A = this chain, B = another copy of it.
Amino acid sequence: MTRYDDLLKSIKKKEADVSIIGIGYIGLPTALFYAMRGMKVRGIDTNQSLIDGLKKGVIPIHEEGLSDIAKEHLSKIQLANSYDNVGETDVFVLCLPSPIDESGKPVIRYLEHAIRDIAKVSKKGCLILVESTVPVGTTELLAQLFAKESGFKPDTDFWFAHCPERVLPGKVVEEMDTNHRLAGGTSEASTELAVVFLSQIFKTNLVHPTTASVSEAAKLAENAFRDTNIAYANELAKLCTTLAIDVSEVIKLANLHPRVDILSPGLGVGGYCFPKDGWILVESARKKGGSAELIPAARHVNDSMPWHVAKRIREIVLDCTAKATVGLLGLAYKENVSDTRNSPTVELLQALTSTDVDVIVYDPLVDEGFGAKQADSMDELLKISDIVVLCVGHNQIIKDLETSDLAEKVFVDPRNLLPKMRSKVKKYVGLSI
């Protein structure tokens, strides 16, 4: 029997030894899912305090349904902060960050480090899956790096594939089970093994074989598509501001068209993926002489939104007789999550603090102030603020606002979430009117 047959057999019998490298926003739910589906799972992360917390049952991510799965399955996962015991691993699943640097260039050194570390300890006959979103061609380069560092032969001693996660933060648990998965191998045999492995955990008809480069491009293309569509809504909001018409009304009527589905505009685009994936796609092609103009324009538009809202707030402040206090409600990058990475509120905060304004912040899900004064409660924020800005529509914030007295406040609603407040506040400022 060849190593390929051995590996295939152990995967099919659900006896494969699986190591998840990186157990953060994606790695942790992934590890729990695999454990839930009966896989033997190891979770590796260099963040010691994360490991310590998890060992005590602390789930650092706010995801619907995740705590319930964790209660039952976290104890089955063997947690460690080193690669000491991964030698017997049959399947490595890399869930590591792949950010961009300040100049917009992709950073893949976290993946490269992991590949080097794995190469030192792994046995022959393993499958390596990359879940991270990476520039087109990266999976192939990582496979070559692994071959070089380990001395193993591709397609004889190891197999390599890109299998991107595609879940929606806030609905990770639900979507991990229902979304289609791509299995993009660096060879046909790699694709086949990846398909079989994923089919043990997810429904077979949800797993799609392809090549590594197509898988990489598809993942980048879907996030850049969403980002571009949000940018369209945001650009429309800015144009409607100039034209003094209600962008929400324009979108509602335009969306009656059978082939039109304009998204909701807002304060900007945050989170880990959208602000970078368009740049990664463009950079993939730029390195080979290609160029783009729509995707970069989309990124600029979305990045401009906190500044567009800050400008509108400054116009209100100029109308105030005394020094105004601005209260920002919600610091997460979107509703009902605790994740603040690339949060537009933080950008808005920076745009406001450069002006002569007192800013106070509050988010029931976030325990950080990003340099601003933090209110202990929403009540406190509402009491102190002259101008209240609804940055994030967490369910809890919306519920509390509905019973609050804001008759003396200027209410800024940059996502047009509560137009009905128009009659309940001193002045309502929506996204465009």
Give me the interface of A with B, judged by CB distance under 8 Å. 136-137, 166, 168, 175, 178-180, 182, 208, 210-211, 213-215, 217-219, 221-222, 224-226, 228-229, 231-232, 235-236, 238-243, 245-246, 249-251, 253-254, 256-262, 281-282, 284-285, 288-290, 292-298, 300-301
Specify the chain B residue showing the minimal Cβ separation from A234.
Answer: B294
B260 A222 Cβ-Cβ under 8 A: yes
* Contact A290:B242 (CB < 8 A) given known A214-B249, A262-B221: yes
- The secondary-structure label for the interface of chain A is helix
A179: chain B residues at CB < 8 Å are 256-258
- Bound complex: CA A261 to CA B225 (Å): 8
Contact for A285 among B213, B239, B288, CB less than 8 A: B239
A222: chain B residues at CB < 8 Å are 254, 257, 260, 262
- Bound complex: CA A249 to CA B137 (Å): 16
**Smallest CB separation, A243 vs chain B (Å):** 5
Specify the chain B residue showing the minimal Cβ separation from A282.
Answer: B239
Contact for A239 among B178, B258, B292, CB less than 8 A: B292
A211: chain B residues at CB < 8 Å are 245
- Bound complex: CA A198 to CA B63 (Å): 49
A226: chain B residues at CB < 8 Å are 259-260
- Bound complex: CA A187 to CA B283 (Å): 51
A294: chain B residues at CB < 8 Å are 228, 231-232, 235, 294, 297-298, 301
A210: chain B residues at CB < 8 Å are 249, 253
**Smallest CB separation, A184 vs chain B (Å):** 9
B295 A250 Cβ-Cβ under 8 A: no
Specify the chain B residue showing the minimal Cβ separation from A302.
Answer: B294
**Smallest CB separation, A19 vs chain B (Å):** 27
* Contact A180:B257 (CB < 8 A) given known A232-B294, A239-B285, A285-B242: yes
A180: chain B residues at CB < 8 Å are 256-257
Known: A137-B243, A214-B245. 7 other contacts (CB 8 A): A217-B240, A217-B245, A217-B250, A235-B295, A239-B284, A239-B292, A243-B284
